[in-house]
Chain A
Amino acid sequence: MYIFKNAIKSITRNKLRNILLGIIVMVIAVSACVALSIRQAAAVAKEDAAENMTITAQISFDRSKAMEEMAAPEGEEPGQASQESEGSEGNVPDRGRFDFDILQGSSLTLEEYLRYAEAQQEGDSYYYSGAFSLDATGELLPYGTEEEESETEDQTDETGQDLFAGGMEGGRMEMPGDMPGGMGGKRFQVNQGDFSITGYSSYNAMVDMFGSDGGYTITDGEMFEEDSEEYACVISNELAMYNDLAVGDELVLCNPECEEETYTFTVCGIYENESASSQENNRFAINDPANNIYISYPAAAAIIAASEEAANTTTDSSGEETSAALKNTLAFTYTFVNEEHYETFAEKVYDLGLDEDYTVSSMDIEAFESSMTPLETLSKTALWFFVIVLIVGGIILVTLNIFNLRERKYEVGVLTAIGMKKAKVAVQFIFELFLVTFAAIIIGGGAGAAVSVPVTNSLLESQIEDAEQEQSQLNENFGFEHGGKGSGGEAAGGEIPGGRGGAVPGQGRGQDRFSGQSAASQYVSSVTTATNAVVILQLAGVGLLLTVISGLAALISIMRYEPLKILSSRT
């Protein structure tokens, strides 16, 4: 006990020496605290963002892989074969190698998607939507078209020649097989329809539109029941105003291939789409968001089933069968609570029978990783800074301590001469170091904690600016427009509510043209807290390490000292 009392007396009565030591440790502590806080902030922000992020994934057919396989003669590698065949055919590509039935008919059925969903884990879910197109009937007109145009369209439809010259809105586009670039004599028919009908399996599937960032709002009526088979729909306010439609009105639409095949919808809600008004005018009516009609998936499935039952099948001269039934384009999305679930799914789904020609991919993870880039770069820089501070600080402290010990050699001599064991003297000296170091670390850590948030945010801002400048330069060099949503329009980059991180990845609308990432809006741009319990513990560890390193110098010196020699030399 007297050792500690003696240590405290020694500290208080050698103020200058200890203040100097304290200042050095404090500088190290402030630097270490800022560096550790930056690293911690990056880790916490990443964790928070990962927690807030819903990972969505799709299964898609790997068309290029399939084409490579088709192009390769048997027994040869795909890449190699492709080159050889090009050489043998001269400049005319051999398109006949590709089987479009396989390439186009490669979408999975709903049953298959649902079977693969068994590879998901607890908390994961899925949703899906089916889309097809229908034509207007009677007085109804798609938004952006006029009655005259509709008639012209019919004429054009019949001739099949003047497709690009006019009246393509909502029309039927035929591409004769003898046209340059025709696909092996086949005749492709593209029936755009007037309206895009999308059936959603659940409200979750519509969050991108009707969620907080979606821009869609029901302004009149209400959303359809998600599991209802009734033909209830929500339409845009533009379409409603254009056709004097109101909630409760009926809407009769027909199969673009068969005018007799009609479906009657009841308008249950009218939505406003903020983003639609800012978009460019679309040449085709179906491409205009105002002509999007939303229904429940069971209703969509019922329509498809009815259409398949009612539709005629025609056979052309080549024996090719063509059905007039509506074609449902299924979009299936799996959602995962975390990346680990996604990774497990991506492996396990093949065990459930998914063909190797299909891939599981998620844009959210890529977007998430790119959103973390500035913070992670900063984190790495902070680590190096921390290591350098620790090494330089350690060297300074050890040197200072050696000088201190030389100064206190006499004290060591006296204490051991009157019977104090060297080990106890060492304990006293190390305890003194410990007290001074920790007092300085507490003060320095406090100061570091206070400045760490503004320093982190300032450095982060600079990192983001660099990244944005690089992106802008790239866009400028390629002649793309910039300064809009993609690279700066949404530069505010909001913080996660109540959190420490930045914007939730994967929801930004400003897709950049390079690497598919949206620039400013997706970067984690600020942190609200940086120093936490982990940083404090790490700082304590730094203090302990510095005390041990410099204390070791004290210990070695003390153990080498002999009281007789010290006192004799002083005499």
Chain B
Amino acid sequence: MSVLKLDKVSYKYNQNTPAVLEDISLEFENGHIYAIVGRSGAGKTTLLSILSSLAAPTTGHIYLNDEDVAKIDKYKFRSRYVGVIFQNFNLLPHLTALENVVLSMNISGKKFEEKEKTLAMALLEKVGLSGEEANRRVLQLSGGQQQRVAIARALSYDPDIILADEPTGNLDVETQQEIIGIFRMLAEEGKCVIIVTHSPDVAKTADFVYELKKSEEKIQAV
């Protein structure tokens, strides 16, 4: 059963411009990694924005476990059901890595069995950050470390779906492999991981690859 389903989704930035996405119907299931690839301008990031409810489709519907996402509060959807890893990490610079993760847990409003700080620390360790690094402000961390913080934040409220926009874009090969490893681990834990990427190496690690093509080109499952 699909955890996330797109039904003839189209998107236009405004009425007078051509559609960036047109009649896209896709299904995503738990326990798999999905890669969305395509040329620049094909609408990959736009699709990710729609999937994360940062933008609403012009036409069509998105279903989360068969429930229309339009009927779910967009803030609740973002803070509980999907974890988003942004291309530029989008961490709060005045907070430490740990505080960024804890804040995300707080925003979700979920009740946790253990203290948020303990859970957040465990998550940061899980993605490969030490205790010392966890207590540093994010600007004092490297790109790879910031990406790990972003992943930990996305996982902090235990969502079923992880959305990642170019998660390895600015990282060296070794770090890329480590990040991909984390995604694989998450998929094995039963999460649905959707990665928007340019990188063929990342695409290769995915269970399913959807390629977005411009205008007349149609989306293809590779």
A563-B54, A564-B54, A571-B87 known; A419 vs B92 contact (CB < 8 Å)? no
Q: Shortest 9 CB-CB distances between A and B: which pairs?
A: A419-B79, A2-B106, A419-B78, A13-B94, A564-B54, A420-B107, A414-B90, A421-B75, A419-B75
The answer, yes or no, to whether A417 is at the interface (CB within 8 Å) is: yes
| Chain A contact residues, CB within 8 Å of chain B | 2, 6, 9-10, 13-14, 411, 413-421, 563-564, 567, 570-571
| B86 pairs with A417, CB closer than 8 A | yes
| A414 pairs with B54, CB closer than 8 A | no
| Inter-chain contacts of A418 with B (CB < 8 A) | 78-79, 84, 90, 104, 107, 153
A9-B99, A420-B107 known; A570 vs B75 contact (CB < 8 Å)? no
A417-B86, A570-B88 known; A564 vs B78 contact (CB < 8 Å)? no
For residue B94, which residue of chain A has the nearest CB? A13
| Inter-chain contacts of B76 with A (CB < 8 A) | 419
**How many residues of chain B have a CB within 8 Å of chain A?**
25
Q: Given A418-B90, A420-B75, 17 other A-B contacts at CB below 8 A?
A: A6-B103, A10-B94, A411-B92, A413-B90, A414-B91, A414-B92, A417-B78, A417-B84, A418-B78, A419-B78, A419-B79, A420-B79, A421-B75, A564-B49, A567-B86, A567-B88, A567-B90
In the complex, what distance in Å separates the CA atom of A413 from the CA atom of B88?
A: 13
Q: Chain B's nearest CB lies how many Å from the CB of A169? A: 97
Indicate with 1 or 0, residue by residue over B82-115, a CB within 8 angstroms of chain A CB atoms.
Answer: 0010111011101100010001101110000000
Q: Chain B's nearest CB lies how many Å from the CB of A442? A: 25
In the complex, what distance in Å separates the CA atom of A571 from the CA atom of B87?
A: 8
Q: Chain A's nearest CB lies how many Å from the CB of B193? A: 18
In the complex, what distance in Å separates the CA atom of A571 from the CA atom of B86?
A: 10
Interfacial residues of chain B within 50-87, with CB under 8 A of chain A in the complex: 54-55, 75-80, 84, 86-87
For residue B53, which residue of chain A has the nearest CB? A419
For residue A563, which residue of chain B has the nearest CB? B54
In the complex, what distance in Å separates the CA atom of A10 from the CA atom of B95?
A: 8
| Inter-chain contacts of B108 with A (CB < 8 A) | 419
| Inter-chain contacts of B94 with A (CB < 8 A) | 9-10, 13-14
| Inter-chain contacts of B104 with A (CB < 8 A) | 418-419
| Inter-chain contacts of A563 with B (CB < 8 A) | 54
| Inter-chain contacts of B49 with A (CB < 8 A) | 564
In the complex, what distance in Å separates the CA atom of A411 from the CA atom of B78?
A: 16
Partner of A419, one of B80, B95, B99: B80
Of A416, A419, A420, A563, most buried by chain B (CB within 10 Å of CB) is A419
| Inter-chain contacts of A571 with B (CB < 8 A) | 87-88
| Inter-chain contacts of B84 with A (CB < 8 A) | 417-418
In the complex, what distance in Å separates the CA atom of A525 from the CA atom of B55?
A: 69
| Inter-chain contacts of A419 with B (CB < 8 A) | 75-80, 104, 107-108
For residue A564, which residue of chain B has the nearest CB? B54
| Inter-chain contacts of B88 with A (CB < 8 A) | 567, 570-571
In the complex, what distance in Å separates the CA atom of A421 from the CA atom of B78?
A: 10
A14-B94, A416-B75, A418-B79 known; A2 vs B103 contact (CB < 8 Å)? yes
| Inter-chain contacts of B92 with A (CB < 8 A) | 411, 414-415
For residue B49, which residue of chain A has the nearest CB? A564
In the complex, what distance in Å separates the CA atom of A10 from the CA atom of B106?
A: 16
| Inter-chain contacts of B106 with A (CB < 8 A) | 2, 6
Q: Chain A's nearest CB lies how many Å from the CB of B161? A: 14
| Inter-chain contacts of B75 with A (CB < 8 A) | 416, 419-421
Q: Chain B's nearest CB lies how many Å from the CB of A16? A: 12
| Inter-chain contacts of A416 with B (CB < 8 A) | 75
In the complex, what distance in Å separates the CA atom of A418 from the CA atom of B153?
A: 9
What would be 5 A-B contacts, judged by CB atoms less than 8 Å apart?
A415-B107, A417-B86, A419-B107, A419-B108, A570-B88
In the complex, what distance in Å separates the CA atom of A415 from the CA atom of B153?
A: 12
Q: Chain B's nearest CB lies how many Å from the CB of A359? A: 76
| Inter-chain contacts of A6 with B (CB < 8 A) | 103, 106
For residue B82, which residue of chain A has the nearest CB? A419
